[in-house]
Amino acid sequence: MVMSLSTLIDELNPEQQQAAITDSQHSLVLAGAGCGKTKTIVARAAYLIAQGVPANQIQILTFTRRAASEIVARVELALGAEAKGLRASTFHTFCMFLLRRIPQAFGLQQFSIIDRDDQLMMFRLIRGKDDKKNANTLPKPQQLCDVYSFARNTRQKLSLALEKQLPEFLDEHEAIKQVMQDYEQRKRERSFLDYDDILAIVATALAKSTELVNYVASICKHMLVDEMQDTNPLQWALLEPLKDQVSLFCVGDDAQSIYAFRGADFENIHHFKERVPNAQIFKLEKNYRSTQEILDLSNWLLDQSAITYDKHLQAYRGDGVVPKIHVFSNEFEEAAWVAQDLKRRHQLGDAWQDHMVLVRSAFAARHVEAACIQSNIPYRFIGGMKLLETAHVKDLLSLLRVIANPLDDIAWMRFLTLWQGVGDVGASKLAVQLLQSPEIDPITEKLEKFGRIPDNTILIMKQMAVLRHEVSACVALAIEALTEQLAENYAKKDWSKRLNDFDLVKQLAAKHSQLSEFLEEYVLDPVSISEIERASEQDVVTLITIHSAKGTEQKVCYVPNLTPGQYPNARAQGDFAEVEEERRVLYVALTRAQNELIITKQNLSQWAQEKYDEQGRFIETYFFNDLPSSLCRTESHQQPQRRSSYPRRNEDEFDGIDLDYGLDFN
């Protein structure tokens, strides 16, 4: 067995090795893009186990389930049976594990988890309607939800969160405070926990109780934290009380911190040394992904910043092709050229799947997407909606949730409003009645009396209640109960495509023995559609948002629309922290390319070159303003301005202007 550990360690470069086998109590590994941070975490976990630390005493914290299972699989591959019991989970799943294992330590008995849609529903009910008579001056439910979550995750007062997120509503502070208090009150009454509660309850309890800290330290001696740069103050509050008793091994890249809008705190990694004074810092700067030319451009981008990143990535692979910038007159021409170039490369024998297009948002992808459809280029888009966040799947889950927990009034609201003629008011009245005797027989009687829900659906609900422990059967029955109504509700919204998603839900459900466990797991960490698609290895071009692209790489990468006003986005102009975050977003995009990096941009009107955006706003910062020509080759595809070809008349022929328009009224 040790043989494979030594193989694992031998595969590391000196810097990675040093980090993986350190005996320092706390470590921070600053790993540049493509410098093998996952490899280092895997080697660290394997090394600890080989040193005699029991596998179940190691807890790995990641941001996605995919990353967690990948790390565990790689350690098991190296160590076999010794690695059994190694835990890797997201922050939420780890806290859930504690809440379920020792609920009494947090003063909890029975509780249900609610997701964002449920939160929105609660905020909608508390906020009230927009009346014609009384205009509702409060923020929209979505805004209330966002500011609430932001305040919790950044651990700051409501007034500060409003100032940051919704400054236009500062005058409504008192009224918003009231809504938030009502929301918390309702959660307490119903024993609901939202996403933020899951972390906050554990963080608060750890800060107050040495017994709890001792307990967590008894089940995990070592915490290995991935993507440290994306942690927010609330996640740091989970780690901080443990640092005297638990060994922290944090890995991340300060240059890839791009989640401030979700409350991520760049300082967690940038000032780690001040927070954990005895920590050792390791730097990984040998990049195994890209050629030196791609890294030279990326290093230059960071060097232009006032923040000292002090990153100078070196390419293990050596030299390659200089990145190219292609300039176009507008974004239609730009997108058409990208599609043409993809086609050309495919005709020369390159596989579609060797190409990736990195965009800012789903909205920004639309031109390239349209050009791919027009040119018959097979592609998939990653970064849009996640499967279990799509409305029709939520509808299906609402029925499963009321079967799993008949007291879940939010799920009842969603389920009841699916049916013709049932609005919020009628649904909430009926939900109150259903909660009074939450057994299946009285519930189905009331539903029959209500008269809006088909008899067949009610009959299926009775079957589901009996088969509660057969997850797959329940899911199949729920689909049967709702398909007809959902087909009507989504008739205009590509129902046939949506219907296929239910097969995916069936696949996911098949892995679980308890309905409540299935619902909980997927509420906590919705599996993205793309993850499931990723498994079907089709030969397609990947269109992906930069925020979804962390950790990915591809041979040829296109970064479209690197135009003034876009990088940094016009909204960020003038705000130092936001401009810097934008710089890091671009850095993440550039460092995905292995062999070729192709950048495209529009040249907005020649006279205002690089100074004004298309709305005529002055641009203070544009990341490529002073780009040295040696780092990038530029090629212009702009059409020269054509002279108008109308025949010229002699000046003296102008005998007045003939305004020939309007109706002939005769």
Evaluate if pTM is beyond 0.85: no
pLDDT at 395: 92
Mean pLDDT of 594-599: 97
Mean pLDDT of 185-214: 92
Give the separation between CA 237 and CA 256, rounded to whole angstroms: 21
**Residue 607 binned pLDDT confidence (cut-offs 50, 70, 90):** very low
Mean pLDDT of 229-248: 94
Residue 129, CA atoms < 13 Å, CB-side half-sphere: 7
Q: b vs e for 498-532, b when ≥16 Cβ sit within 10 Å of the residue's Cβ?
A: beebbebbeebbeebeebbebbbbbbbbbbbbbee
Give the separation between CA 298 and CA 631, rounded to whole angstroms: 10
Mean pLDDT of 113-129: 84
Strand 280-284 versus strand 247-252 pairing type? unpaired
* Tens-digit pLDDT profile for residues 216-226: 999 999 999 99
* Tens-digit pLDDT profile for residues 251-267: 999 888 878 877 888 88
Amino acid (1-letter code) at residue 165: Q
Q: b vs e for 180-198, b when ≥16 Cβ sit within 10 Å of the residue's Cβ?
A: beebeeebeebebbbbbbb
Q: How far is CA 28 from CA 4, 19, 285, 331, in A?
A: 25, 9, 14, 42
Strand 355-359 versus strand 541-545 pairing type? parallel
**Residue 604 binned pLDDT confidence (cut-offs 50, 70, 90):** low
Give the separation between CA 34 and CA 26, rounded to whole angstroms: 23
Q: How many residues does the chain have?
A: 666
Residue 529, pLDDT > 50, answer: no
High-pLDDT (> 70) share of the chain, %: 89
* Tens-digit pLDDT profile for residues 616-631: 656 678 898 889 999 9
Give the separation between CA 245 and CA 213, rounded to whole angstroms: 8
Mean pLDDT of 462-488: 92
pLDDT at 649: 45
E strands, 80-183, in order: 87-90, 112-113
Which of 209-213, 509-513, 612-616, 642-646 is predicted with the least confidence, judged by mean pLDDT? 642-646
Give the separation between CA 545 and CA 357, rounded to whole angstroms: 8
Give the separation between CA 117 and CA 121, rounded to whole angstroms: 6
Mean pLDDT of 454-476: 92
Mean pLDDT of 560-576: 87
pLDDT at 133: 64
pLDDT at 535: 46
Return the closest-CA partner of residue 141 out of 162, 161, 127.
127
pLDDT at 72: 93
* More confident call, 103 vs 527: 103
Residue 534, pLDDT > 70, answer: no
Return the closest-CA partner of residue 346 out of 591, 637, 555.
555
For the four alpha carbons of 521, 522, 528 and 533, in that order, the dihedral sign comes to: positive
- What integer best gives the mean pLDDT of the chain? 86
Backbone angles phi, psi at 277, to 5 degrees: -55, -35
Q: Are 553 and 33 in contact (CB under 8 A)?
A: no
Give the separation between CA 145 and CA 126, rounded to whole angstroms: 12
Residue 449 exposed, middle or buried by CB count within 10 Å (0-12, 13-18, 19+):
exposed
* More confident call, 406 vs 3: 406
Token pair of 27 as six digits: 């470590």
Q: Are 140 and 155 in contact (CB under 8 A)?
A: no
Mean pLDDT of 519-546: 66
E strands, 178-295, in order: 192-193, 222-225, 247-252, 280-284, 286-287
pLDDT at 299: 95
Residue 554, pLDDT > 70, answer: yes
**Residue 65 binned pLDDT confidence (cut-offs 50, 70, 90):** confident
Give the separation between CA 410 and CA 270, rounded to whole angstroms: 41
